[in-house]
Structure 1
Amino acid sequence: MSALPPPLVLRTHHEAAGERAPPLYQRVAQTLAQLIHSGTFKAGQRLPSVRETALAQGVSISTTLQAYRQLEEQGLAQAKPKAGYFVRAAVRTALRIPQPSPSAPPQRSFSLERHSRSESFALLYQPGDRASFGGFTPQSSGLFDEQRLRVAVGRAARVHRRSLTEYNKADTGRLSLRQAVARRALHMGCALDADDIVITASCTQAVSLCLRAVTSPGDVVALESPTFFGYLDLLESQGLRALEIPSHPRTGMSLPALELALDTQPIKAVLTTPTLSNPLGAVMPLAAKQRLVRLLAERGVPLIEDVVFNDLLAGDERRKAAKSFDSGRGVMVCGSFAKTLVPGMRLGWVEGGRWRDTIAIHKRLQGAATNVVLEEALADLLTQGSYEAHVRRLTAQQAVRRAEARQIIARHFPKGIRVSNPPSGDTLWLELDPAMDSMALFHQCAAEGITFGPGQLFTATDRYRHCLRLSFSGPWDNNAQGALARIGELACALTGGPALRLAAATPQHD
Structure 2
Amino acid sequence: MDAPSPRSTRYRALADELREAIGTGRLAPGAALPSLRACAAQRRLSLNTVTAAYRLLEDHGLIEARPQSGFYVAARLPEPQRALRGAPSRALGDRQDDLAAQVLAAQGRPDHLDLALACPHGRRFYPADPLLRTTRSILRRHADVVSRYALPPGDALLREQVARRARRLGMALPADEVVTTHGATEALHLALRAVAREGDSIGIEAPAYFNLYPLLRGLGLRAVEIPTHPRHGLDVDAVARLLRARELAALVAMPTVHNPLGCTMPLAAKQRLAALAARHRVPLIEDLVYAELQSADPPEPAVKSFDRDGWVLACAGFSKTLAPDFRIGWLHAGRYTPTVQQLKFAMSGGESGLLGAAVGRLLQDGGYERHLKRLRRLCQSQVATVRGLVARHFPAGTSATQPAGGFLLWVELPPSVDSAALFRAALAEKIVILPGEVYSAGARYRHCIRLSCCREIDAAFLAAIETVGRLAHAMTTRRGNTSPTRRR
Which band: TM-score by shorter chain?
0.7 to 0.9
C-alpha deviation, 1:327, in angstroms = 0.6
Taking a change above 3 Å as real, the CA distance of residues 391 and 343 of structure 1, as seen in their structure-2 partners, is: same
C-alpha deviation, 1:370, in angstroms = 0.6
C-alpha deviation, 1:490, in angstroms = 0.6
Give SS of 1:444's match: helix
In the alignment, what sits opposite 2:180? Answer: 199
Residues in 1 aligned to 2:74 and 2:196: alpha-carbon distance in whole angstroms: 45
Taking a change above 3 Å as real, the CA distance of residues 112 and 374 of structure 1, as seen in their structure-2 partners, is: farther
Give unmatched runs, 5+ long, in structure 1.
1-28, 46-88, 504-510
C-alpha deviation, 1:471, in angstroms = 0.7
Calculate percent identity across the aligned residue pairs: 35
In the alignment, what sits opposite 1:486? Answer: 467
Give SS of 2:106's match: coil
Residues in 2 aligned to 1:426 and 1:485: alpha-carbon distance in whole angstroms: 19
- Asked if 2 retains the 8 angstrom alpha-carbon contact of 1:130 and 1:483, the reply is no
- 1:419 aligned onto 2:400: yes
CA offset digits 1:30-86 (Å, max 9, x no partner): 9995443365887998xxxxxxxxxxxxxxxxxxxxxxxxxxxxxxxxxxxxxxxxx
In the alignment, what sits opposite 1:37? Answer: 28
Residues in 2 aligned to 1:236 and 1:111: alpha-carbon distance in whole angstroms: 16
Taking a change above 3 Å as real, the CA distance of residues 487 and 303 of structure 1, as seen in their structure-2 partners, is: same
Q: 1:217 aligns with which of 182, 186, 198?
A: 198
C-alpha deviation, 1:105, in angstroms = 2.6
Letter in 2 for 1:154: R
Taking a change above 3 Å as real, the CA distance of residues 155 and 126 of structure 1, as seen in their structure-2 partners, is: farther
- 1:103 aligned onto 2:83: yes
Letter in 2 for 1:122: Q
In the alignment, what sits opposite 1:85? Answer: none
- 1:345 aligned onto 2:326: yes
In the alignment, what sits opposite 2:140? Answer: 158
Give SS of 2:173's match: coil
CA offset digits 1:315-369 (Å, max 9, x no partner): 5345311101111111100011222222221100000000001111111111242
1:87-486 equivalent positions in 2, closer than 5 A: 92=63, 93=73, 95-105=75-85, 116-127=96-107, 129-137=111-119, 139-140=121-122, 142-168=124-150, 170-313=151-294, 315-486=296-467
C-alpha deviation, 1:243, in angstroms = 0.9
In the alignment, what sits opposite 1:64? Answer: none
CA offset digits 1:182-210 (Å, max 9, x no partner): 01101101111001100000111101100
- Asked if 2 retains the 8 angstrom alpha-carbon contact of 1:417 and 1:500, the reply is no
CA offset digits 1:132-186 (Å, max 9, x no partner): 0112536535311211111122222233322312211x21101111001001101
Taking a change above 3 Å as real, the CA distance of residues 500 and 431 of structure 1, as seen in their structure-2 partners, is: farther
Q: What TM-score does the superposition give when structure 2 sets the normalisation length? A: 0.82
Give SS of 2:454's match: coil
**Higher mean displacement: 31-40 or 338-347:** 31-40
- Asked if 2 retains the 8 angstrom alpha-carbon contact of 1:220 and 1:241, the reply is yes
C-alpha deviation, 1:125, in angstroms = 4.6
Residues in 2 aligned to 1:160 and 1:224: alpha-carbon distance in whole angstroms: 44
- Asked if 2 retains the 8 angstrom alpha-carbon contact of 1:141 and 1:475, the reply is no
C-alpha deviation, 1:393, in angstroms = 1.1
Residues in 2 aligned to 1:344 and 1:441: alpha-carbon distance in whole angstroms: 31
1:32-71 equivalent positions in 2, closer than 5 A: 33-37=24-28, 39=31
Residues in 2 aligned to 1:474 and 1:253: alpha-carbon distance in whole angstroms: 29
Taking a change above 3 Å as real, the CA distance of residues 401 and 314 of structure 1, as seen in their structure-2 partners, is: closer
Give SS of 1:284's match: coil
- Asked if 1 retains the 8 angstrom alpha-carbon contact of 2:295 and 2:404, the reply is no
Give SS of 1:105's match: helix
Residues in 1 aligned to 2:484 and 2:363: alpha-carbon distance in whole angstroms: 45
- Asked if 2 retains the 8 angstrom alpha-carbon contact of 1:413 and 1:499, the reply is no
Residues in 1 aligned to 2:397 and 2:168: alpha-carbon distance in whole angstroms: 40
Taking a change above 3 Å as real, the CA distance of residues 112 and 483 of structure 1, as seen in their structure-2 partners, is: closer
- Asked if 2 retains the 8 angstrom alpha-carbon contact of 1:323 and 1:332, the reply is yes
Give SS of 1:199's match: strand
C-alpha deviation, 1:308, in angstroms = 1.1
**Higher mean displacement: 120-129 or 206-215:** 120-129
Give SS of 1:319's match: coil
Residues in 2 aligned to 1:314 and 1:243: alpha-carbon distance in whole angstroms: 30
C-alpha deviation, 1:216, in angstroms = 1.1
Letter in 2 for 1:99: E
Taking a change above 3 Å as real, the CA distance of residues 445 and 334 of structure 1, as seen in their structure-2 partners, is: same
Residues in 2 aligned to 1:350 and 1:101: alpha-carbon distance in whole angstroms: 34
Letter in 1 for 2:269: A
Taking a change above 3 Å as real, the CA distance of residues 452 and 368 of structure 1, as seen in their structure-2 partners, is: farther
Give SS of 2:259's match: coil
Residues in 2 aligned to 1:141 and 1:405: alpha-carbon distance in whole angstroms: 19
Taking a change above 3 Å as real, the CA distance of residues 114 and 377 of structure 1, as seen in their structure-2 partners, is: farther
Report the number of matched residues.
432
Letter in 1 for 2:264: V
Residues in 1 aligned to 2:24 and 2:414: alpha-carbon distance in whole angstroms: 31
Taking a change above 3 Å as real, the CA distance of residues 141 and 482 of structure 1, as seen in their structure-2 partners, is: farther
**Higher mean displacement: 91-100 or 424-433:** 91-100
Taking a change above 3 Å as real, the CA distance of residues 132 and 161 of structure 1, as seen in their structure-2 partners, is: same
CA offset digits 1:454-499 (Å, max 9, x no partner): 0011112222011110012233211011101101101111121545
Taking a change above 3 Å as real, the CA distance of residues 500 and 455 of structure 1, as seen in their structure-2 partners, is: farther
- Asked if 1 retains the 8 angstrom alpha-carbon contact of 2:183 and 2:318, the reply is no
Letter in 2 for 1:345: F
Residues in 1 aligned to 2:86 and 2:201: alpha-carbon distance in whole angstroms: 14
Taking a change above 3 Å as real, the CA distance of residues 155 and 267 of structure 1, as seen in their structure-2 partners, is: same
- Asked if 2 retains the 8 angstrom alpha-carbon contact of 1:214 and 1:269, the reply is yes
1:68-83 equivalent positions in 2, closer than 5 A: none
C-alpha deviation, 1:292, in angstroms = 0.4
Give SS of 1:242's match: strand
**CA-based RMSD:** 2.9
- Asked if 2 retains the 8 angstrom alpha-carbon contact of 1:275 and 1:318, the reply is no
CA offset digits 1:282-330 (Å, max 9, x no partner): 1101111111000111001001001111111265345311101111111
C-alpha deviation, 1:448, in angstroms = 1.5
Taking a change above 3 Å as real, the CA distance of residues 315 and 99 of structure 1, as seen in their structure-2 partners, is: closer
C-alpha deviation, 1:232, in angstroms = 1.6
